[in-house]
A and B are shown apart, each in its own frame.
Chain A
Amino acid sequence: MNKVLTISASPHSFGVDSTQKIMYGVVLALLPALAASIYYFGIGALIVTAAAVISSVGFEYLIQKYVMKVKPSISDGSAMVTGLLLAFNLPTNIPIGLVILGSLISIGVGKLSFGGIGQNPFNPALVGRVFLLISYPVQMTSWPKPIIGRMNYLDAETGATPLAVVKEGLKNGESFSSIDIPAYLDLFFGYLGGCAGEISAFAILIGGIYMLWKKIITWHIPLTVLGSMVFFSGLLYLINPEGFADPIFHLITGGAMLGAFFMATDMVSSPMSVKGQIIFAIGIGFLTIVIRVFGAYPEGVSFAILIMNAFVPLLNTYFKPKRFGEVKKNG
């Protein structure tokens, strides 16, 4: 019995999950949304997505290898997720150059400048998107109209998103019911202008349910984000149904679904305790509605998430999980 035995402290048994599995699980969950995007936006969706994924992974590899001089970690799949999410947050007729620039900002500034995976305080894809949105507002806000089987890329005919239409209309004193927007069922399945991956609430729901089933995410953040959006927009709608859009409209348009299921749930930049996550999610819902209704932009999910990302360290410090057998302090 002269075997060299391995020694380590308990536990000696481990779960089967790994960072890779989680990341590729997210990629898998994003595929329905990608399919919807290609269905409605055609070749442009494919080009933008491919460019974002390839450049994100490429930048991660190059920066880690030659700038940071560490072992590249592209195999964990996190750069791929960032690339996909970035692409999903861009219009499908955006020039490739901007996509690559966005990837560089996402990966280089949003992620690696903080030390790489696990260290970034902000969702890297959103950092890239907001950078582009502020720097190239024209390209970033010309939305191609959904046309099934479209084959043209840059010169796609564009139009405003329903959110922008409603915002403009309400600002001009029209009543909500008189504004011409597509049927809700069309909006739910994705027949509307918008960013590549955000249009189909239906496809995102499929992905979200998959992630919930695989326990990649928990229900707390997505449901609370959507719930609080419904609550705050509902409040406004009840006060004045003609002056404000109804909650369902808020849910199925813009980036609400994509943000709630894929962006706000980003593990790295969301709080650790359930209490913290709930507050984080309520904040996102609230800020989204505030920006959509009162802000300068028609859409506010990205900003809301980034703002709440900044509160995460605070939430982690002040909202601890409930300790077992917590002894109430005197007083």
Chain B
Amino acid sequence: MWLPILYFVAQKFKVYEDPRIDEVDEVLPGANCGGCGYPGCRGFAEACVKSEDLGNLYCPVGGNDCMSSVAKVLGRTAVEKEPDVAVLLCNGACSLRPNTNKYDGAGSCTIAHNLYGGETGCQYGCLGLGDCVRVCDFDALHMDTETGLPVVDEEKCTACGACVKECPRNLFELRPKGKKGRRIYVACSNKDKGSAKKIGCDVACIGCRKCEKECAFDAITIENFNAYIDPQKCKLCRKCAPVCPTNAIHEINFPPRKVKVEKEPALAETSSTTSVQSEGATEVVARKPRVKPESTDAPKPDPSSENNPS
């Protein structure tokens, strides 16, 4: 006897939902990471169905493949986008950035950031407490115990932007993956004056403008004593990296510079390949192998020998 009532109630309160939402939801990755800017995949599917064209909608996790399937379901055309990847704009590993004090509070970057400038002399750099690792839904971030910096696993990173949002010091940037995964960026976010930076960190961008002068494409701008390479303008010519006096410019996935015969980039042998290698990480920083007649390329100055006016 309850059945008719139940049936009636069910009919009465039935919510009409566009069946295409389900179909779109089906082809989405289902990670519910929010990287698209919508609350979960379902929200994104709804937005896709509602929108006239898919111009502003992009699922960074699924990428172009996923978007073209979405477009197929809806009978629209997807906009191709170059895939992004997260990069860390700090290279102040423990050994290059000596500790000046010992943090003993709760293990959260945001808490430490709200409290003070951090354990080292650089108040802009990575705090190394791993908030980014905790928010990563894709297991693409790991702390390197040696450098104390997080390492992005390029294969797993979906450019969802969770780490970009989480980092209290805004040290992550989503940059185009680049052809063959090759990209060049300045791994430093310090906004102090050059002299002050050198005290805190050996690999800080000191804003010397050498790279800016070297770049033929106007891709490099210096702001707040810090260089920035515009990925849209950068042609990956690799001219900027060798002139950097502090090794702040990172080249990723390039063959080593001193190429003679190697076919595969012989990573293990490039002794100047520093820091960012850890197990499972595919990101490899092919550091400018210093061709070392010490005179041309001045080695990093010892901060103590400098007369720092402060």
Contact = CB atoms under 8 A, between A and B. Distances in A.
Chain A in direct contact with chain B (Cβ < 8 angstroms): yes
A22 B103 CA distance: 29
B100 interface: yes
Tier of interface size on chain B: 10 to 19
A8 B115 CA distance: 8
A16 interface: no
B104 A7 contact: yes
B127 to A, nearest CB: 12
A9 B107 CA distance: 12
B105 interface: yes
B116 interface: yes
Interface in A1-51: 4-9
Interface string B102-117: 1111100001000110
Contacts of A4: 99-102
Contacts of A5: 101-102
A7 B99 contact: no
A5 B115 CA distance: 15
B111 A9 contact: yes
A8 B105 contact: yes
A6 B101 contact: yes
A9 B105 contact: yes
A7 B119 CA distance: 9
Nearest to B111: A9
A6 B104 CA distance: 6
B115 A9 contact: yes
B110 to A, nearest CB: 12
A7 B99 CA distance: 12
Contacts of B102: 4-7
A284 B284 CA distance: 64
B100 to A, nearest CB: 7
A7 B105 CA distance: 7
Contacts of B119: 7
A5 B104 CA distance: 10
A5 B106 CA distance: 16
A175 B128 CA distance: 75
A8 B103 contact: yes
A149 B60 CA distance: 77
A283 B99 CA distance: 56
Contacts of A6: 101-104
Contacts of B111: 9
Contacts of B115: 7-9
Contacts of A7: 101-105, 115-116, 119
Nearest to B105: A8
Nearest to B104: A8
A306 B111 CA distance: 39
Nearest to B99: A4
Interface in B99-155: 99-106, 111, 115-116, 119
Nearest to A12: B104
Interface string B29-43: 000000000000000
B199 to A, nearest CB: 14
A30 to B, nearest CB: 35
B135 to A, nearest CB: 22
A175 B115 CA distance: 72
Contacts of B103: 6-8
A293 B27 CA distance: 62
Interface in B177-220: none
Interface in B6-52: none
A7 B100 CA distance: 10
A111 to B, nearest CB: 26
Most A Cβ at <10 Å: residue of B99, B104, B106, B116: B104
Contacts of B116: 7
A9 B112 CA distance: 8
A4 B104 CA distance: 12
Most B Cβ at <10 Å: residue of A4, A7, A9: A7
Contacts of A8: 103-105, 115
Contacts of A9: 105-106, 111, 115
A174 B106 CA distance: 65
A4 B101 CA distance: 5
A266 to B, nearest CB: 28
A273 B307 CA distance: 61
Nearest to B118: A7
A8 B111 CA distance: 10
A9 B111 CA distance: 9
A5 B99 CA distance: 10
Contacts of B101: 4-7
A11 to B, nearest CB: 11
B165 to A, nearest CB: 23
Contacts of B100: 4
Contacts of B104: 6-8
A237 to B, nearest CB: 47
Given A7-B105, A8-B104, A9-B111, 6 more contacts: A6-B101, A6-B104, A7-B101, A7-B116, A7-B119, A9-B115
Interface of B: 99-106, 111, 115-116, 119
Interface of A: 4-9
State the 5 A-B residue pairs at the shortest beta-carbon distance, nearest first. A8-B105, A8-B104, A6-B104, A6-B102, A5-B101
10 contacts: A6-B102, A6-B103, A6-B104, A7-B101, A7-B102, A7-B104, A7-B119, A8-B105, A9-B111, A9-B115
